[in-house]
Chain A
Amino acid sequence: MDKTKFRSMAKCVLVLAIIALCSGLLLGLFNWITYVDPLQSTYEQFSADTGAVFSKMKDEEGASYGNGSVVYYAVSDDGQYHAFLVQASGWGGTLQMYVYIRDAHVSKVVLGENGETLWSQFEDDFFSQFVGLDLLQTDAFGQTDIQTGATAKKTIQAIADAMNAVVQYYNDQVAGGENNG
């Protein structure tokens, strides 16, 4: 190999590697400064949305149901609310939703972190259509159960999959299952 060519190539690799290393160190520092404990932030979100106190997670492992999955499940200290952080793959990556259940009925749904770009297509009160859904009377939740004028198919599918994960988890593990009580 030509020595000059090798030198030039080595210089390129070295410079790029040093810049990448410095960038990594800088990001590490910022990550340390801005780190948010996911469990703590989920507790705070659960409390902010329901007004109830959540002091421990009932299930930190979660469960997957096809494209949708339950990330965290908690019951409020007074036992009134069952709170879920669920997620599914949408168009722009992972879409997260907070779903709250009271007396086996959905009492509130709040959109969490997501990378979807077509929210302007959705109605302002889009998530209120899920309120009142009786989980004990629902076996599965699909795309056709969602009422909207929006045409963002992948986003709608992700929302349906996330809701379905709640329905399945609640019926399997909460209503008559191992986490009951």
Chain B
Amino acid sequence: MDRRKMRETVLGGLIRNNPTFVLVLGTCPTIAMTTSLFQAFAMGLATTFVLIFSNLFVSLLRNLIPDKVRIPCYIVIISTFVIIVQMVMRRFLPDLYSTMQAFIALIVVNCIILARAESYASCNPPLYSMLDGISMGIGFTAALCLIGIVREFFAGGSFAGMQIPGFPAMSGVGASAFGFIVFGCLMALFNFIVEKIEARKRSMRRASLPLASRAESLEEVQQ
């Protein structure tokens, strides 16, 4: 296994290609399912499960699936795992299932899953594809949880269902419009921090180069 590729795949889903904050995919569940931390976490887990297994199977079958019918095949694979999630949730988490039912079914058309199947799993080996699914899933779950924490705090004055003394619930803040505002602010903050870290890394790399190479590298950056 190529270590560098592995590292890129893992960091890609979490930071550089974070599906929520960088690629801005799956905005519908991001807004709908982040009114509380618990719901956001459950949605993230369900999506992660579907991502991992759909990526694995798309990758395993990538040489068998004809190009013309690849999208219908991906949809069949993805919907199979979404239905499995539905069945398991219905059996073991009926209360959670009754509140999330509509959105669990919508995972089938979640852009993140189809996008990863089409752009990554269909041209990479199974192990990398699974890793990509895990990384993208964790990135998506973390982003949803972050938005969920902020929204729940302002709308309900609570954290993970526990009331925080001194912070009353604000009416109207639970609406989707506020969800978009929180989403936008966190996206801006995330990209700002990532950009700062990348810039620092670049300058450190430049500083460690010999003088001649440093000038070349600076030219490259300027270009």
Binding site for B on A (CB under 8 A): 8, 11-12, 15-16, 19-20, 23, 26-27, 30-31, 34-36, 41, 92-93, 111-117, 119-120
- A113's partner among B77, B84, B98 (CB-CB below 8 A) is B98
Q: Which residues of A contact B91 (CB under 8 A)?
A: 34-36
* B83 and A16 contact, CB distance less than 8 A: no
* B68 and A30 contact, CB distance less than 8 A: no
* B103 and A15 contact, CB distance less than 8 A: no
> A27-B83, A112-B98 given as contacts; is B105 within 8 A of A15 (CB)?
no
* B98 and A23 contact, CB distance less than 8 A: no
> A16-B73, A19-B73 given as contacts; is B102 within 8 A of A117 (CB)?
yes
* A26 and B174 contact, CB distance less than 8 A: no
Count the A-B residue pairs with Cβ separation under 8 angstroms: how many?
66
Q: Does B90 contact A (CB under 8 A)?
A: yes
Closest chain A residue to B80 by CB distance?
A23
C-alpha spacing A78/B87, complex, angstroms: 34
Q: Does B162 contact A (CB under 8 A)?
A: no
C-alpha spacing A17/B48, complex, angstroms: 27
- A30's partner among B79, B88, B102 (CB-CB below 8 A) is B88
Binding site for A on B (CB under 8 A): 32, 35, 61, 64-66, 68-69, 72-73, 76-77, 79-80, 83-84, 87-88, 90-92, 94, 97-99, 101-103, 105, 174-175
* A92 and B77 contact, CB distance less than 8 A: no
> A12-B68, A15-B64, A34-B90 given as contacts; is B83 within 8 A of A120 (CB)?
no
C-alpha spacing A34/B83, complex, angstroms: 12
* B101 and A26 contact, CB distance less than 8 A: no
Q: Which residues of A contact B80 (CB under 8 A)?
A: 23, 26-27
